[in-house]
Amino acid sequence: MSKSSVVEIPEPRVSSLIFADTRFSVVWFLLRIYVGWQWFSAGLEKLQSSSWVGNKAGTALLAFVNSSLVKSTGPHADVQGWYAVFLQQFVLPNVTFFSYIVTFGEILVGLALIFGILTGISAFFGAYMNMNYLLAGTVSINPVLFAFELLLILAWRIAGWWGLDRYVLPFLGAKWENRSRLKRRKHG
């Protein structure tokens, strides 16, 4: 593809302000802390329960999956058939393993969001877990967290500005430039 055929679409000002301007980063910081705390506290609660981690690991998840399977029948099932098959064929035979994955996944996503490290990726994994809970027929706080995580994914460039991403992302290749330097470079 020749350079003349490349079309670059500039980011609208509103989008730039909300998702790329550090002046808006405090909003993302507060949202990130809220979502992170929800995950961390849910995972910590599971970590302290022997039915999730320990000698009875998997029993709580087994009850959850069986409840979801009940919701997969009838004309207007809460759980779609394909997801019920996944739960029956893949999760149930490995329920202890998944019990540990859920517990430590929630803790890790929570900590990553609280500390603001790889915020966009952490929010993606949180959204992935929320989507699985929704597919399993559990509404609760899942749609709210899912929506917030989608916003954090969109704001990945500045959502961790008040966190470790401020130092980690430039190390990984993300470039932040001072707007006043950019204006001088364009006009000078």
Burial class (CB in 10 A: 0-12, 13-18, 19+), 81: exposed
Q: Where are the beta strands (DSSP E) in the chain?
A: none
Instruction: State how far the Cα of 37 lies from the Cα of 156, in Å rounded to an integer.
Output: 18
User: In this predicted structure, what is the pLDDT of residue 8?
Assistant: 87
Burial class (CB in 10 A: 0-12, 13-18, 19+), 108: middle
User: In this predicted structure, what is the pLDDT of residue 4?
Assistant: 72
Phi, psi of 75 (to 5 degrees): -70, -30
Q: How far is CA 99 from the centre of its chain?
A: 19
Q: What tokens does 157 get?
A: 């460039």
**Mean pLDDT, consecutive 10-residue segments, the chain of 188 residues?**
78 92 95 98 98 96 97 94 98 98 98 98 98 96 98 96 93 74 48
User: In this predicted structure, what is the pLDDT of residue 151?
Assistant: 98
User: In this predicted structure, what is the pLDDT of residue 138?
Assistant: 95
pTM of the model: 0.88
Burial class (CB in 10 A: 0-12, 13-18, 19+), 116: buried
Amino acid at 165: D
Residue carrying the six token digits 């500390």:
115
